Amino acid sequence: MDMTTRPIRGNHRHSLWYERILLSFRVHYLLGLTLTSLLPALWSREWHGSSVEGMGTSTAMLASAVAWMVAFRAVHQLSRHPGADPCMYVFPVVTAVYLSILALLELMAIPFDLIQLLMSGVLALLCGWVGYRITRRYRRRKMALVPLGNIREWFSHQDIDQRWLSEPGLDNLRVDGVIVDLSCDLSDEWQRFLADCTIKRIPVHDARRFGEAFTGRIGLDQIHANRYGSLMPRTSYELFKRLADILAALLMLPAALPIMGVAAILIKRNDPGPILFRQRRSGFQGEEFDVYKMRSMYVNPDDVRPTQEGDDPRITKVGKYLRKYRIDELPQLFNVLKGEMSLIGPRPETPALTEAYERDIPFFRYRHVVRPGISGWAQVEQGYASEVEGSRIKLEYDFYYIRNFSFWMDLLVVIRTIRTVFTGSGSR
């Protein structure tokens, strides 16, 4: 029997009507909107009249609805990127959105029911966390893989439920999609199988693009001259980001200056020498600039060699804590104000290392297409990396950031950076 003629209509995972309802983001969205806006309003109306308090109840109900819609969309957008666990983003996103709306209402002197709004925030936290927690195990993707081309090399360690196909057919297997190396030669049987999958609404993914979206890296062997255009960042967002960088840096400086003052005293007491140091770096569009940092090493001649794995004897006792919690990076807020850096972007390298990496790593110079950042996608995903092989991996993360250059990508890096600052993970 020709395997490609077997019906595959029921092979799409979670295609049954009750599965589509229970796992639907739209259902969760509408259910959460109802619970977070109507329930607190009904409770509040039992305790208030219809005058000022009643108007405050209506305002709080509208504010709760807006807060839920913004928070739900934000968590949904963040969870679309690699390694993103929606449960981890529910608390910071919901809390930030509700506090922002509360501050806006207070600033505009609009009467509202504070208890009602706080109750809505608590319900939003519960609905978001429980909803994502319950459905997380069912959303782990089950993918059928066509064993042709280089697909085994790309997906040997991926955290997905992998089902390797031995022939062009799914039998009774229910999957979320099919992954295939579209760059290899496919037989007529496999081509017809993939066409049938598409007809029956089973997604067919190119292995390279799926791997990029799942790992958060773009392999250097996948970068070709005809793909430079796909890595060009959006200029419209560049302007918005520059304005946001200036505003954020100005807001952060009042809190950062006292911390830098205490750190300066500790640096002086621990080891005589300058508090700050400048180091030449390669930045936006290849232009060189001086980056500012708080000194975390003993006073020694400059050493541009990559740091080896393990403890670095050049780092002072105070410097270990400055690096662990990223305090040594705070003076770079002035680099941000000068336009030499951004809050989020690829980390700048020294000109000597840049020259060395450009000789050894293809396309390394292309990372200068965006402003370098104090923190970046490669830093939160990989941490520090100085050796050539580690820098190749870091560059693959940088390319993914450049391709997905957007507000949501930057917000994701900000949240992970805050977690890194408080936990000290990934420091050297």
Mean of pLDDT values over 315-321: 86
Under a CB-based contact definition with an 8 Å cutoff, are residues 132 and 86 in contact? yes
Q: Is the pLDDT of residue 223 over 50?
A: yes
Task: Please give the residue range of the domain that contains residue 47.
Answer: 17-139
Beta strand 342-344 pairing with 373-375: parallel
Are both 48 and 171 inside the same structural domain?
no
The pTM of this model reads: 0.80
- The identity of residue 314, as a single letter, is R
> Whole-angstrom Cα distance, residue 256 to residue 330?
7
Residue ending a domain, choose from 215, 249, 264: 215
Longest dimension (CA), the chain: 82
DSSP 386: -
Q: Is the pLDDT of residue 400 over 80?
A: yes
Are both 129 and 157 inside the same structural domain?
no
What are the Cα distances from residue 381, in Å, to 216, 377, 404? 9, 6, 15
Are both 95 and 81 inside the same structural domain?
yes
Token code pair at residue 136: 């997380």
Under a CB-based contact definition with an 8 Å cutoff, are residues 12 and 173 in contact? no
* Amino acid 311: pLDDT: 63
- The identity of residue 31, as a single letter, is L
Q: Output the 3-class SS for 228-278.
A: CHHHCCCHHHHHHHHHHHHHHHHHHHHHHHHHHHHHHHHHHHHCCCCCEEE
Mean of pLDDT values over 380-409: 80
* CB-facing half-sphere around the CA of 321: CA atoms within 13 A: 10
> Whole-angstrom Cα distance, residue 89 to residue 416?
9
Are both 127 and 182 inside the same structural domain?
no
Per residue in 227-240, pLDDT (tens digit) is 555 567 777 899 99
**25-39, 81-95, 397-411: lowest mean pLDDT where?**
81-95
Are both 366 and 249 inside the same structural domain?
yes
Place of tokens 């208890």: 115
Per residue in 169-204, pLDDT (tens digit) is 888 888 888 999 888 888 899 999 999 888 888 889
Q: Say how many residues make up the chain.
A: 428
Are both 54 and 116 inside the same structural domain?
yes
* Amino acid 129: pLDDT: 86
Is residue 5 assigned to a domain?
no
Are both 409 and 303 inside the same structural domain?
yes
Token code pair at residue 75: 């968590």
Are both 128 and 147 inside the same structural domain?
no
Is residue 168 assigned to a domain?
yes
> Whole-angstrom Cα distance, residue 268 to residue 318?
10
Residue ending a domain, choose from 139, 168, 199: 139
* Amino acid 137: pLDDT: 67
- Tell me the DSSP string of 123-177: HHHHHHHHHHHHHHHHHS-EEEE---TTHHHHSSS-SSEEEE-SSS--TT--BSE
Is residue 47 assigned to a domain?
yes
144 CA to centre of own chain: 27
118 CA to centre of own chain: 28
Residue ending a domain, choose from 85, 104, 139: 139
Are both 129 and 156 inside the same structural domain?
no
Per residue in 26-70, pLDDT (tens digit) is 888 899 999 999 888 888 766 554 444 556 788 889 999 999 999
Are both 419 and 273 inside the same structural domain?
yes
Is residue 409 assigned to a domain?
yes
Residue 372: which residues within 8 A CB-CB, separation 6 or more? 281, 283, 284, 340, 341, 342, 345, 346, 347, 348
Is residue 8 assigned to a domain?
no
DSSP 212: H
Is residue 228 assigned to a domain?
no
> Whole-angstrom Cα distance, residue 283 to residue 132?
40
Are both 260 and 356 inside the same structural domain?
yes
Number of domains in the chain: 3
- Residue % of the chain over a pLDDT of 90: 31
Is residue 229 assigned to a domain?
no
Are both 305 and 252 inside the same structural domain?
yes
Confidence of residue 307 (pLDDT cuts 50, 70, 90): low
Residue 178, beta-bridge partner list: 144, 204
> Whole-angstrom Cα distance, residue 405 to residue 399?
10
- Tell me the DSSP string of 267-326: HHHHSSS-SEEEEEEE-GGG-EEEEEEE--B-S-----SPPPSS--TTB-HHHHHHHHTT
Is residue 10 assigned to a domain?
no
> Whole-angstrom Cα distance, residue 94 to residue 124?
7
Four-point Cα dihedral 49, 55, 61, 62, nearest 10: 160
